[in-house]
Amino acid sequence: MKNYRIFILSIMSFLWVMHSSCQNASTKDSNIKKLSANEFESTLALDSNMQLIDVRTPEEFNQGFIKNAKNINWNGSNFETEVNKLDKSKAVFVYCLAGGRSGEAANKLKDLGFTIIYDLKGGMNAWRNANKHIEIKNAALVKEKKIEISIADFNSTINSGLVLVDVYATWCGPCKIMAPYIDEIVNEKKDVLKFLKIDNDKNSELVKFLNVDELPTIIIFKNGKRVFTSIGLIKKEDLVKEIEKNL
C-alpha cells in the first residue's frame, strides 16, 4: 500500500512538472507574435500607446519607413541602451527589411523584459508588397538607387531556358552562407543554366514584382514559368536536385 501511494505521488509530481513546463513554454512563446502586414497595420491602429521600432540602418530608414517609427539600429552599438528607454509594460512593434533582424531584435526585447512584442513578418518587403503607406521624413535624404535589373530585362531573361534567381542582401547571414556553393553550382552548370543575382536593397520594384518578402529566396524559372521556390537556407545537394529535375 505504501509503495502504491509513493507511485501515485510520483505520477502526480511528474504531471505537475509537465503542466508547469508547458505553461512556461506557452507563456514564453506568447511574448512574441509574428503578424502579416495587414495584421500589423490593424494592430498598430488599435494601440494608442504604440511603440514602433524600425531596426534597420539609418540609411535604410531614410529611404522610407512606417509612420511614427523610431529608428533603433539592431546592428548599432546602442540598441540595448535605446530600447531600455521604452516602457516595458506596453506593447512594442518591431520590423526590419525582410524579418531576419527584427526576429533577433524581438528575442532580445523579450530577454530584456518586454512582454508584448509584435514582429512584422516579412518586414518592409511585405509592407511594400501589400501596398501599405510608407513615410519619408526628408525627401532630400533619399538617394537615387541604381536599378540593377529592370522588370522588362528580367522577363526577357527568364523566358528562355532554365534560370536560377537568387534574391539576397549583403547583410543577410544565410545569404552569405549559401553564396559560395551557389557560385559553384552556377559554374558547374553554366552550359545549361542562366543565373540572376538580385540585390534586394537595390531592386525594390523587382522584389515586389516577384512577391519576395523573406531572404534568402531562391527561384527557378523554366521558359518563363516559375517551377521552384525556396525561402531560407537550402543545401547545395537539394538545390542541385531541383535544377537537374527541370533540365
Identified catalytic residue from 124, 172, 198, 220: 172
Say what the pLDDT of residue 148 is.
78
> C-alpha grid cell for residue 75?
546592428
Residues of the chain with pLDDT under 50: 1-28
- Measured between its terminal Cα atoms, the distance across the chain in Å is 72
Domain 26-138 has CATH 3.20.20.140: no
pLDDT in tens, 151-205: 998 999 999 899 999 999 988 889 999 999 999 999 999 999 999 999 998 898 8
Give the predicted TM-score (pTM) of the model.
0.68
Say what the pLDDT of residue 145 is.
53
Say what the pLDDT of residue 49 is.
81
- Going from N- to C-terminal start, the domains of the chain cover 26-138, 151-245
Residue 22 catalytic?
no
Identified catalytic residue from 37, 175, 207, 239: 175
Per the listing, cell 533582424 goes with: 101
Say what the pLDDT of residue 7 is.
44
SS (H, E, C) the chain: CHHHHHHHHHHHHHHHHHHHHHHHHHHHHHCEEEECHHHHHHHHHHCCCCCEEECCCHHHHHCCECCCCEECCCCCCCHHHHHCCCCCCCCEEEECCCCHHHHHHHHHHHHCCCCCEEEECCHHHHHHHCCCCCECCCHHHCCCCCCCCCHHHHHHHHCCCEEEEEEECCCCHHHHHHHHHHHHHHHHCCCCCEEEEEEHHHCHHHHHHCCCCCCCEEEEEECCEEEEEEECCCCHHHHHHHHHHCC
Residue 96 catalytic?
no
Say what the pLDDT of residue 171 is.
86
Burial class (CB in 10 A: 0-12, 13-18, 19+), 7: exposed
Say what the pLDDT of residue 63 is.
84
CATH superfamily of the 151-245 domain: Glutaredoxin (3.40.30.10)
Which amino acid appears at position 180 of this protein? Answer: P
Say what the pLDDT of residue 110 is.
96
